[in-house]
Each structure stands twice: as structure tokens, then as C-alpha cells.
């Protein structure tokens, strides 16, 4: 599946920032860069990480248990087992962080990750390419 088929509120990695803002309104630009990315934030929980005025990463922070956002079969609040069932366990890499309540589920054959806290999806991330996959330095593979 190409990244063009994955979107959050019709925002896809690879979209021009001007097109995104034309369709969704102007986003608030954060003062500090995140690594090489400019950060643009919407009130609805979407954060766009962009360089050269093109979205490279689209991030959605789930609001609460009543958030019904669904991206490629998985909704906010889903469990790790639901992700394994949707993509097959062998197609998912689980990464741990220093916080024992947090894990990142990376789908191997798609530029897509889910952040889980206490075994519930709290964030959904779509990448422009597999190389853009954003990994905090404190992540490691879970055994």
C-alpha cells in the first residue's frame, strides 16, 4: 500500500503545506523545530511535521475514549491485540520506551505506527517514507 492511501482528515504525507492549509485552515506553526522538521499544529489533534513546505509526517493525538478516529483499520483506543489481528503479528514490530506504560507498534509493510499507552492507541502516525519513520532515541525493540 502506498502512503497516498493513508490519510488523517484527508491529510497525507507528501501533500504541500499550502494545499493542506487551503483545505483545513491555517495551522499554528511551532517556534521550535523538531529535528529537521517544522511543526504545524491544528486544534483537532493533528500535527504535521514538514520540511521544504511538504508534509513528511502526519501525527494524530487521540483525544479520549470517545474519539472515533480510524486510520487503516485501527481506531483510537484499540489494543495491541487488535493491531496484531489487523496486520498479522509477524508484520508488526513493537518498540518499548523508558516508560513501561508506552509502546510503539510499527506496521512493517506500511509507513504507519501506533503509539499505545496502557495498551490503548493514543496516537496514530503516518510517514511519507519508511526512512522518515520517527523514532525517539529512547526506543528499543521489546523482547
- Concatenating the DSSP letter of every residue in 42-85 gives -TTSEEEEEETTEEEEEEEE--STT---EETTEETT--HHHHHH
Tell me the C-alpha distance between 72 and 87, whole Å: 10
Mean pLDDT throughout 12-34?
A: 93
Beta bridge partners of 16: 54
Helix (H, G, I), strand (E, B) or coil at 91: helix
Mean pLDDT throughout 19-23?
A: 94
Tell me the C-alpha distance between 109 and 31, whole Å: 34
Average pLDDT, the chain: 87
Share of the chain above pLDDT 70, in %: 89
Tell me the C-alpha distance between 50 and 54, whole Å: 5
Domain CATH code at residue 53: 3.40.33.10
Residue range of the domain that includes 102: 3-141
Mean pLDDT throughout 75-102?
A: 91
Nearest-5° angle of CA 107, CA 56, CA 41? 105
Mean pLDDT throughout 4-10?
A: 82
Query: What is the pLDDT, as a whole number, of residue 1?
Result: 40
Band of the pLDDT at 65, cuts 50, 70, 90?
low
Looking at the structure of the chain, the number of domains it has is 1
Query: What is the pLDDT, as a whole number, of residue 134?
Result: 62
Higher pLDDT, 1 or 34: 34
Band of the pLDDT at 137, cuts 50, 70, 90?
low
pTM of the full predicted structure?
Answer: 0.88
Amino acid at each position: 500500500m502506498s502512503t497516498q492511501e493513508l490519510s488523517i482528515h484527508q491529510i497525507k504525507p507528501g501533500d504541500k503545506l499550502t494545499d493542506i492549509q487551503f483545505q483545513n485552515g491555517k495551522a499554528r506553526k511551532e517556534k521550535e523545530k523538531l529535528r529537521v522538521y517544522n511543526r504545524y499544529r491544528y486544534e483537532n489533534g493533528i500535527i504535521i511535521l514538514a520540511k521544504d513546505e511538504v508534509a513528511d509526517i502526519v501525527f494524530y493525538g487521540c483525544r479520549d475514549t470517545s474519539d472515533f478516529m480510524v486510520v487503516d483499520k485501527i481506531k483510537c483506543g484499540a489494543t495491541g491485540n487488535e493491531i496484531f489481528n489487523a496486520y498479522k503479528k509477524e508484520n508488526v514490530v513493537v518498540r518499548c520506551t523508558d516508560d513501561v506504560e508506552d509502546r510503539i507498534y510499527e506496521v512493517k509493510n506500511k509507513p504507519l505506527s501506533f503509539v499505545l499507552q496502557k495498551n490503548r492507541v493514543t496516537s496514530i502516525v503516518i510517514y511519507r517514507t519508511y526512512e522518515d519513520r520517527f523514532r525517539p532515541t529512547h526506543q528499543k525493540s521489546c523482547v
